[in-house]
Amino acid sequence: QVQLQESGGGLVQPGDSLRLSCALSGASFTFKTWSVAWFRQAPGKERQYVSSLARDDGNKIYANSVKGRFTIYRDTAENTVYLQMNRLKPEDTAVYYCAARVGGTRDTSEGYDYWGQGTQVTVSS
């Protein structure tokens, strides 16, 4: 079993940056075995895939809507996955969740077994 805890959300203006953190814990967790992803959900909308980090080789995948603006990376010593978000737009406003699964990455929420509680990101002038 794995526990996930997000942090780093907040209220920012368009064009600003934020860095989200996802701290992973649990006796079974290792980046060699588990892939980690970020999703987001805006009010009244379905949960949307944002980015993922594959187990072992750390291959990174991004949704088209965030490509070139967001960067996912990990700190293996701290068992933490980060989402650096630059040039934020109002349409990035959502609750951001990190999720983990054993095996390769997926771009649908149904593919992930463990979830954090989420952190709110609001982009508004």
**Residue 99 — very low, low, confident or very high, per pLDDT cuts 50/70/90?**
very high
pLDDT value of residue 13: 98
pLDDT digits (tens, 9 = 90+) for 68-92: 999 999 999 999 999 999 999 999 9
What is the CB neighbour count within 10 angstroms for residue 77? 6
Mean pLDDT of 95-124: 95
Q: Could you tell me which residues are beta bridge partners of residue 22?
A: 6, 81
State the Cα–Cα distance between residues 69 and 98, nearest whole angstrom.
18
Within a 13 Å sphere around the CA of 12, how many CA atoms are in the beta-carbon half?
Answer: 21
State the Cα–Cα distance between residues 99 and 90, nearest whole angstrom.
23
pLDDT value of residue 95: 98
State the Cα–Cα distance between residues 22 and 27, nearest whole angstrom.
16
pLDDT digits (tens, 9 = 90+) for 39-70: 999 999 999 999 999 998 889 999 999 999 99
pLDDT value of residue 27: 86
Whole-number average pLDDT of the chain: 96
